[in-house]
Amino acid sequence: MPVLVDDPLIASMTIRTPMPIHASSSRLRALDPDCPRVHGVAVMGDLSRRRWWPLTELMTTDRLSRMFAAGLAEIGNPATVTQQLAATFAHVVVGRVIPLLVLEGRAWDTGPENLWVHVDSEGAIDWVGVVDPTLRALPDDPAFAGGPDDPAFAGPPDDPALAGRHTRRREGILALPSEAALTTWVAHRSHRALGPLFTRLSAEGDEATPVSAMWHAVGAAAVSAATQIPLLAGSSEAVSMRRTQAVLDALVSFGLPVRGGHRPTATKLLLN
Cα–Cα nearest to 54, from 16, 63, 46: 63
- Name the CA dihedral angle for 213, 104, 238, 240, rounded to a multiple of 10 degrees: 10
Tell me the C-alpha distance between 4 and 97, whole Å: 20
Cα–Cα nearest to 91, from 193, 239, 7: 193
DSSP SS3 for 154: strand
Tell me the C-alpha distance between 237 and 272, whole Å: 23
Q: What is residue 54's DSSP assignment?
A: E
Tell me the C-alpha distance between 44 and 98, whole Å: 20
* Model pLDDT, residue 160: 53
Give the other-Cβ count within 10 Å of 160's Cβ: 7
Residue 22 domain-assigned?
A: yes
- The count of structural domains within the chain is 1
3-state helix, strand, coil in the chain (%, to 5): 50, 10, 40
CA distances for 209 relative to 146, 199, 239, angstroms: 51, 10, 33
Runs of H (alpha helix) within the chain: 8-11, 20-29, 57-60, 63-75, 78-90, 98-104, 179-204, 211-233, 237-253
- For the chain, give the mean pLDDT: 88
Share of the chain above pLDDT 90, in %: 72
Residue 244 domain-assigned?
A: yes
Pairing between β-strand 42-43 and β-strand 125-130 as defined by DSSP bridges: parallel
> How many Cα neighbours within 13 Å face the side chain of 17?
8
Residue 145 domain-assigned?
A: no
pLDDT digit string (tens) for 200-236? 999 998 888 899 999 999 999 999 999 999 999 999 9
DSSP SS3 for 183: helix
Indicate if the pLDDT at residue 189 is higher than 60: yes
Residue 3 domain-assigned?
A: no
Residue 261 domain-assigned?
A: no
171 — pLDDT class (breaks 50, 70, 90): confident
* Model pLDDT, residue 147: 56
Tell me the C-alpha distance between 216 and 198, whole Å: 11
Residue 148 domain-assigned?
A: no
CATH, residue 27: 1.10.510.40
Model confidence, pTM: 0.87
Residue 184 domain-assigned?
A: yes
Q: Which domain holds residue 52?
A: 8-139+168-253
264 — pLDDT class (breaks 50, 70, 90): very low
Indicate if the pLDDT at residue 239 is higher than 70: yes
